[in-house]
Structure 1
Amino acid sequence: MVRLVVLALALMAASSCYASQRIIGGRPAYIEQYPSLVQVEEYTDGVWWQKCAGNILNILYVLSAAHCFEGPYYDPLFHRIRSGSTYRHSGGNINYVEKEFNHPSYDVAAPLDGDITVVRLSRPIIYSNAVGRATINYHGARILDNIPVVYAGWGDTIGEYAPPEQLLDVQVYTINNDLCRERYLTLDTPPNIITRNMICAGVLDVGGRDACHGDSGGPLYDGNVIIGIISWGEGCANATFPGVNANVASYTNWIAETAV
């Protein structure tokens, strides 16, 4: 297991699957198993659709991927979160986005480095057995290789934009950062740089299990602790190129300072 001296973010506020998406090989799950997990929806062409995922930090803030909250056409007015629902596009509770705080290092040192954001909501979340705050890794924590970890989300199930109606989860394994970097450097086009602020996870040289389109911003769990935020990858469930996640331990202090 990762040696976790976990930081439970209990801040009381006011009291590739490159581009905006990214479960393949998964099984049905229920939101009560992952109560901090939310859907991120965007309003486009008169329709709300599930674009990414996120994680409840406290009653007013959600943790997600920066690439889900940026771009020339991004507007917080057309983004909202759905909490407390097992099913895509239905049930649960809706909270609208007030403002996003993308990490200042996002996309600076390397494409998709710093791909993490804290999002402020327009009104407080109400907790229940299906809605609760996340526990995230402590700052600077070391991530060990080849430990079992879990993705959860509503993303694509076959790599061809076929999202499920029900929440899914899947177990994969952490992959040595240097080995992952060597693999990605064989690609000619970005994003292909693995930094120390990233965690690679998959089933190396086998494939078949991964996060995919629509899972971006969602969690990579070690037990009940979020150690990564789903970010990008070369295709989905690729045997050679594992999925890539923002390493929460690189940003925990910033998250805690921002989500207040």
Structure 2
Amino acid sequence: MSRSLLLTLCALLCLVAVARCLPLQEDEESSQGPRIVGGYVTDVAQCPYQISLRYKGITTPQNPYRHRCGGSVIRNNLIATAAHCVIGTVASQFKVVAGTNLLSGTDGVIVSVSKIIMHEEYFSGAAYNNDIALLVVDPPLPLNNFTIKAIDLASEPPLPGAISKISGWGTTASGGSASNVLLAVDVPIVSNEICNQDYENFGDSTYQITPAMLCAGVRGVGGKDACQGDSGGPLVVRDQLHGVVSWGNACALADYPGVYANVSNLRPWLDEKIAEESQL
């Protein structure tokens, strides 16, 4: 099997052990969708940029849209998420739900995805490198600065030790228990140098920490992290989007921080794509 075909299959099925998309099967009940590790119940008013990205497989159109990944509102018509959440899909397979606390709720604003803009160099040079994508939604979200609000993009990396806030509906552990409510967790930033040392003996040589990645975790302790179902969701420091949930070795291990797409490093790409969309 060719490397490109293997990567596409992995992304489509969300079965790569380190990816943090939610591995729901087509016939699995939506109640299996689940939560962050070591976190606390939050309210969407505390993270109004958070969205649920819901997906419907094209082979089973009778099934409802189900939570697949998180994402962040960055403009009224643009969502930032992870490239591995959308690779091998088409826009019509997705709905974005904003302004809700519930994993399967319909109380929020539901809009369609009209366009997927995935980083052209995703997976280039290292596993999950440049793991970023933009979704264009139509109609635009009705920003109210309370439960639906755009978040500013970081232009400088956070300092190691800075406390980040991660939110989403991901599992409490790999294959963990379910929750239908939005959770958050506070985790310190880990320098890329230290993080790369932690991952030095993980997997093969493709699993390295690049400048397009950012790490966060409680080293030596563990117990707090994003997990499956949180992919694409926000890592926020001081009200700026610094990271997009990407990958890690299992979840919340003491020796392996979680790894995120580094927004400040990817800012030139983001700015270029945002500018292109604003001119349409």
TM-score, normalised with respect to structure 1:
0.88
Q: 2:210 aligns with which of 195, 203, 209?
A: 195
CA contact (8 A) 2:20 2:229 kept: no
Alignment of 1:112-127 (within 5 A): 112-127=128-143
CA contact (8 A) 2:21 2:230 kept: no
Question: Does the C-alpha gap of structure 1 residues 163 and 116 become closer, same or farther in structure 2, counting only changes over 3 Å?
Answer: farther
Q: C-alpha separation between the residues in 2 aligned to 1:156 and 1:19?
A: 9
Alpha-carbon distance, 1:89 to partner? 1.3
What runs of 5+ residues in structure 2 fail to find an aligned partner? 1-16, 23-34
Q: C-alpha separation between the residues in 1 aligned to 2:66 and 2:238?
A: 29
Partner of 1:25: 38
CA contact (8 A) 2:220 2:254 kept: yes
| Larger RCO (CA within 8 A; separation ≥ 6) | 1
Q: C-alpha separation between the residues in 1 aligned to 2:193 and 2:252?
A: 19
Q: C-alpha separation between the residues in 2 aligned to 1:227 and 1:195?
A: 15
User: How many residues are aligned here?
Assistant: 241
Deviation track 1:127-169 (CA, whole Å, cap 9, x = no partner) reads: 122111111101xx13321121111111111321534211101
Residues 1:82 and 2:83 aligned together: no
Partner of 1:13: none
Q: C-alpha separation between the residues in 1 aligned to 2:178 and 2:128?
A: 24
Partner of 1:34: 47
Partner of 1:57: 74
**SS of the counterpart of 2:65?**
strand
Residues 1:212 and 2:227 aligned together: yes
Q: C-alpha separation between the residues in 1 aligned to 2:259 and 2:195?
A: 9
Question: Does the C-alpha gap of structure 1 residues 19 and 230 become closer, same or farther in structure 2, counting only changes over 3 Å?
Answer: closer
Alignment of 1:132-143 (within 5 A): 132-138=149-155, 141-143=156-158
Residues 1:244 and 2:259 aligned together: yes
Q: C-alpha separation between the residues in 1 aligned to 2:92 and 2:218?
A: 38
Alpha-carbon distance, 1:19 to partner? 5.8
Q: 1:230 aligns with which of 229, 245, 248?
A: 245
Deviation track 1:6-45 (CA, whole Å, cap 9, x = no partner) reads: xxxxxxxxxx431634910000000011111100000134
Question: Does the C-alpha gap of structure 1 residues 68 and 191 become closer, same or farther in structure 2, counting only changes over 3 Å?
Answer: farther
Q: Which amino acid aligns with 1:30?
A: D
CA RMSD of aligned residues (A): 1.6
Q: C-alpha separation between the residues in 2 aligned to 1:225 and 1:105?
A: 24
Q: C-alpha separation between the residues in 2 aligned to 1:218 and 1:231?
A: 9
CA contact (8 A) 2:77 2:138 kept: yes
Percent of paired sites with the same residue: 29
Alignment of 1:81-100 (within 5 A): 81-90=96-105, 91-100=107-116
Q: More deviation in 44-53 or 106-115?
A: 44-53
Q: Which amino acid aligns with 2:257?
A: P
CA contact (8 A) 1:112 1:191 kept: no
Deviation track 1:53-99 (CA, whole Å, cap 9, x = no partner) reads: 1111111111110111103xx22211111000011110201111111
**SS of the counterpart of 1:55?**
strand
CA contact (8 A) 1:155 1:212 kept: yes
Partner of 1:162: 177
Say which structure is richer in strand.
1
CA contact (8 A) 2:125 2:206 kept: no
